[in-house]
Amino acid sequence: MKGVFITGSVLLLLLSSCAVERHYVGPPRSPEKKLIILPYDRKTKPYVVRGVRYYPLPKAEGFRQRGKASWYGKAFHGRPTASGEPFDMYKISAAHKTLPLGTCVRVTNLSNGKEVVVRINDRGPFIKGRVIDLSYAAAREIRLVGPGVTDVVLLALGREVGKIESPLGTKPVVEIEDLESGLFTIQVGAFKGRRNALLLADRLKVIFEHVEVSVYRDGQGEILHRVRVSRSKNLKRAAEIEKRLEAMGFDGAFIVSL
């Protein structure tokens, strides 16, 4: 980190492997929902997930994100996800830092145009710049298994709950979740040693009202201590704090949904 609070004796453990953190965080939040009627468009391609039809959302209502995707598999197979469901590497699913659990997302591999629709049931990847962690099965669909990391675009989908007839044809009625509100925190770092985590937390407490140190186990069973700042009720406020931390030299800080 660039000249902020930390001396050479404090070793920040950079989470440089795929999906290092996996832990159960309790029941998923219930975001506000609303219904919209999508414009008639012959080119709009619906996707079927678990027997339910989903549609790409209009720009004003939707969620689009570009970044790097990674994948996780054997080390976490059978372990509980953030939703409480057991992780099955052979089923299509994914982890995201902030989207509500249960959200369906279209993932497009920018290197080859391959796409897959996944349901978010876990949290991660806990690395700056990576926007989604795919299960082995999902990664295989877009040929990510070999490279391990690739550039992708994410597009949130809306669940079809009905149809309406119009002079131009049938229009789908879709349910949209509020993807911007909830409870969010910013992870500043993760340490092997509790003392190092507490040293950083003590310095951050001088500036921020809410700072916490929590303990979890990574995929190899190693105990890590994560330092997190703030409890924000919307993504905009969380992003402001994230930028503030980056300006202080914490380039690896990232937002996580609680």
Query: Of 68, 83, 19, 65, which is closest to residue 180 (Cα–Cα)?
Result: 65
Query: Are the CB atoms for 249 and 213 separated by under 8 Å?
Result: no
Output the pLDDT for position 88. 97
By percentage, how much of the chain surpasses pLDDT 90? 63
Q: Could you tell me the pLDDT band of residue 31, with boundaries at 50, 70 and 90?
A: low
What are the chain's domains?
A: 33-177 (2.40.40.10), 181-257 (3.30.70.1070)
Give the tens place of pLDDT for each residue, 234-257: 999 999 999 999 999 999 999 999
Averaged confidence pLDDT in the chain: 85
Q: Could you tell me the pLDDT band of residue 37, with boundaries at 50, 70 and 90?
A: confident
Q: What is the mean pLDDT of residues 157-168?
A: 88
Output the pLDDT for position 168. 76
Strand 169-177 with 150-166, pairing = antiparallel
Q: Could you tell me the pLDDT band of residue 30, with boundaries at 50, 70 and 90?
A: low
Give the tens place of pLDDT for each residue, 100-141: 999 999 999 999 999 999 999 999 998 899 999 999 999 999
Q: Which helix (H) or strand (E) holds 35?
A: strand 33-37
pLDDT of residue 99 exceeding 80: yes
Output the pLDDT for position 24. 36
Query: Of 97, 30, 26, 23, which is closest to residue 63 (Cα–Cα)?
Result: 97
Q: Could you tell me the pLDDT band of residue 221, with boundaries at 50, 70 and 90?
A: confident
Give the tens place of pLDDT for each residue, 168-195: 788 889 988 888 888 999 999 999 999 9
Handedness of CA 245, 241, 23, 147 (dihedral sign): negative
Output the pLDDT for position 222. 82
